[in-house]
């Protein structure tokens, strides 16, 4: 990956961190946690080494052209700067959010919860 490509990804990653697009979901009374990127059109499930976005699947996993997508890079930056919205959920809500993301590409339930948190 060229330094120009890396710089573009880094700039995009920093922008989405400033926009507050990363959410940490934790199960109540459990150590299990996942990260969600809240996009304009789609939400992605990610961790420090994987993202469910199509860019990651095609360009990182299949083609080996990149080492990461800007979502993973942004997550690392957001964790470093402690700029992640943290939400604890019951198992039913947690499951519903993940199901919506996998079935529809985004979670309306998560957006409703975020609106309550921000209010």
**8 Å CB contact between 35 and 22:** yes
Q: Quick check: is 14 in a domain?
A: yes
Residue 53, pLDDT score = 97
**90 φ/ψ sector (left φ>0, alpha ψ -120 to 50, else beta):** beta
Q: Quick check: is 119 in a domain?
A: no
| The total number of structural domains that make up the chain | 1
Residue 32 has pLDDT above 80, yes or no: yes
Mean pLDDT of 24-38: 92
Report pTM. Answer: 0.89
Q: Quick check: is 61 in a domain?
A: yes
Tens of pLDDT, residues 65-100: 999 999 999 999 999 999 999 999 999 999 999 999
> What domain range is 29 assigned to?
3-114
Residue 8, pLDDT score = 87
Q: Quick check: is 27 in a domain?
A: yes
């Amino acid at each position: 990956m060229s330094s120009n490509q890396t710089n573009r990804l880094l700039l995009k990653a920093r922008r989405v961190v400033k926009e507050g697009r990363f959410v940490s979901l934790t199960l109540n009374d459990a150590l299990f946690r996942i990260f969600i990127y809240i996009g304009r059109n789609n939400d992605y499930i990610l961790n420090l080494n994987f993202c469910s976005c199509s860019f990651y699947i095609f360009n990182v996993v299949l083609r080996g052209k990149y080492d990461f997508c800007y979502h993973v890079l942004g997550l690392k930056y957001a964790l470093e700067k402690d700029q992640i919205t943290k939400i604890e959920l019951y198992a039913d809500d947690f499951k519903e959010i993940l199901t919506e993301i996998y079935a529809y590409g985004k979670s309306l339930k998560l957006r409703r919860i975020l609106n309550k948190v921000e209010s």
